[in-house]
Structure 1
């Protein structure tokens, strides 16, 4: 059985790990977009400068003539690989000397032939690393004569992205470890009070209601601790009430039994006084009725403990009660030679 502490730590760690993974994903994705965006902007800027130079100084000749004459002034200072493409999509010049066929996947060329500046990230046959290509139309007198294309390797950019990704992943792992330790400490602070309350509850379950839960707080566990202590106190009160009731009933049973036994011994003798004899028999009958009533009360005791019986208080005439007690105990007092007197006031109490 998994403890609450174990489940809490697992739950905390699950939430933390999922959160870190999501943050790492967006962070690394953002870094990649930032690096790629910076390189793209740089290529677009170089394209703009190169095409402006071409239009300003080399627009008198055709694009094919400039390539044939090895005119490279307008792109010579560009560190990226340069390609010049005619309107038929043929590569007229490649600064690396490697001319490959263009494919439809190279979206930057397709867009540039349509008059738009665009970029593309993909693979080329002569490089194992991905490249970023940016193409722009070459416009002369509002007429497009070709496409200028720049290609830059993503090897260094991807390396920087990987280095930063490793750093963030390491930091994320450190965050997970620290968060795990904090979760363990937090789980301990939450489960330790539960252990104290559970220990007190186990002692109470074993019958020791004198033990008290020592945890005090205003939270739910503190409320549970107070409720448990209150429950133990109520059980002790009910136990004391039961014991007092049994003691009282035992005493009450002893009194009529004593009276019945006394009169039974007295009536063994042959009394000619029928009035005295009748009085003794009446007392025995009344005491039997009292015993029957007490037995009924004992049967109702469980209902009394559970709160299903409400005590109904009535006034008792003390004078009549004392007179009855005198008559009950007189035979035993006479038998044991005890002077038994009951002083009654003239007015009833």
Structure 2
């Protein structure tokens, strides 16, 4: 792989170490050079201070020429380096090594000394291949006039050799550090990329449909969390796949049942004498009921398809939600009576105007009340409550039916989930109802207990325009 993470981590780590070590090397080299040059400068200044002190104490009354004629220049040659004397016209009149032709008048330290200021210079000279360090001081007469300058110089060759020696050692040390850095960075990169490669391998297997594959990784960092998330995703895919398969099996059976019943009674009616009114009516009634049942299942599937594809839109209008609830109660009362279920009306009569899709909310209420009746034994009750609880409108459907345990309750709104009760069907009704309520920015809350009953609370925001 041309641009692998392992190579990138190794390259970046080595580059960082190289940059750090190089900067440290440069700092050490320049620091050491300044230290050695400073040592030479300090020594020259000490020697020059001593010479200038001797001159000021004993020979200040003499001119430059008198000093040279009287061999007093020997006083200034005590430190053993190069000694130069420059007159007030910047002419080199004495040089202890005989470099009379040196252009001292162009040197900044000499220029400053003739102006009465001590100074120094580091640079090349005509008589040497190595730089020298020079310090210059002014010489004063008795009337405090500058009559010339005294200049001490020393070769920087030993200091330069010391700097180069240190540089070579640092270069060798840098090479060793970089070799170690390469090894360490490869180990570090491997420790990072190994779990990534494992995650990648598992992801490829998951993409290939091997959903039971899991990543075994005992880490508490981000990679560990990623592995755990992928494992959770795989487990959820397996669960969803199982739910989908159960749904397909269930819906196939449920579609087949009414079709079989319709086909069977169609064959019976075909061979039945039209005068047998009772048989004919019974057959037609069963065919009608099974057709309604089949139509409802197909409609649920179509509704669900619209919701998951995002093609459903609400047709909102201003209407009295209380009146809608009353209509639904009246519509469902015969259905409850037929199953010997007492459908209780606890709808507050207060007029409440709501901007929403009335047909869709009616669909939600019918679906949930129908479910409550379906899962309540004969002789039981279903309670339908509705009231304004600003800023929301609440519709509550309660029953004393079979109820749900915690596991069923957690999955009740899941798409394709089919309950354990024999009356459970496609598992889309509650899921569709939940989607409709969410489109109205509302929520469905479910409380249930096994063998005690279920309470479903539908909450729809009234909005700023809601009126009583």
Offset, 1:275: 1.3
Whole-angstrom distance in 1 between the partners of 2:187 and 2:173: 21
5+ unaligned residues in a row in structure 1: which ranges?
321-349
- Structure 1, residues 86-138: CA drift from partner, whole Å, max 9, x if none? 11212221111221243454111111111122111112111111111111122
- Structure 1, residues 189-213: CA drift from partner, whole Å, max 9, x if none? 2222211111111111111110112
The residue that corresponds to 2:216 in the other structure is 214
The residue that corresponds to 2:128 in the other structure is 127
SS in structure 2 opposite 1:182? helix
For residue 239 of structure 1, the aligned residue among 238, 241, 244 is 241
Whole-angstrom distance in 1 between the partners of 2:185 and 2:221: 19
Cα distance 1:180–1:105, how it changes in 2: closer, same or farther (>3 A)?
A: farther
Contact 1:136 1:149 in 2 (8 A): yes
Whole-angstrom distance in 1 between the partners of 2:173 and 2:42: 30
Whole-angstrom distance in 2 between the partners of 1:270 and 1:172: 104
Aligned 1:135-174 pairs, distance under 5 A: 135-141=136-142, 142-174=144-176
Bigger drift between 177-186 and 202-211 goes to 177-186
CA RMSD of aligned residues (A): 2.7
The residue that corresponds to 1:296 in the other structure is 299
Bigger drift between 89-98 and 171-180 goes to 171-180
Whole-angstrom distance in 2 between the partners of 1:52 and 1:319: 126
Structure with the bigger percentage of strand:
2
Whole-angstrom distance in 2 between the partners of 1:269 and 1:262: 11
1:282 aligns with 2:285: yes
Whole-angstrom distance in 1 between the partners of 2:147 and 2:257: 130
1:189 aligns with 2:191: yes
Whole-angstrom distance in 2 between the partners of 1:304 and 1:230: 26
Q: So what's the TM-score if we normalise by structure 2?
A: 0.63
Whole-angstrom distance in 1 between the partners of 2:288 and 2:105: 120
SS in structure 1 opposite 2:53? helix
Larger Rg: 1
Contact 1:197 1:215 in 2 (8 A): no
Q: So what's the TM-score if we normalise by structure 1?
A: 0.82
Structure with the bigger percentage of helix:
1
Contact 2:120 2:136 in 1 (8 A): yes
Equivalenced residues, count: 320
5+ unaligned residues in a row in structure 2: which ranges?
313-362, 380-468
1:98 aligns with 2:99: yes
- Structure 1, residues 253-284: CA drift from partner, whole Å, max 9, x if none? 23223323332333343434211122112212
Contact 2:63 2:141 in 1 (8 A): no
Whole-angstrom distance in 2 between the partners of 1:131 and 1:76: 18
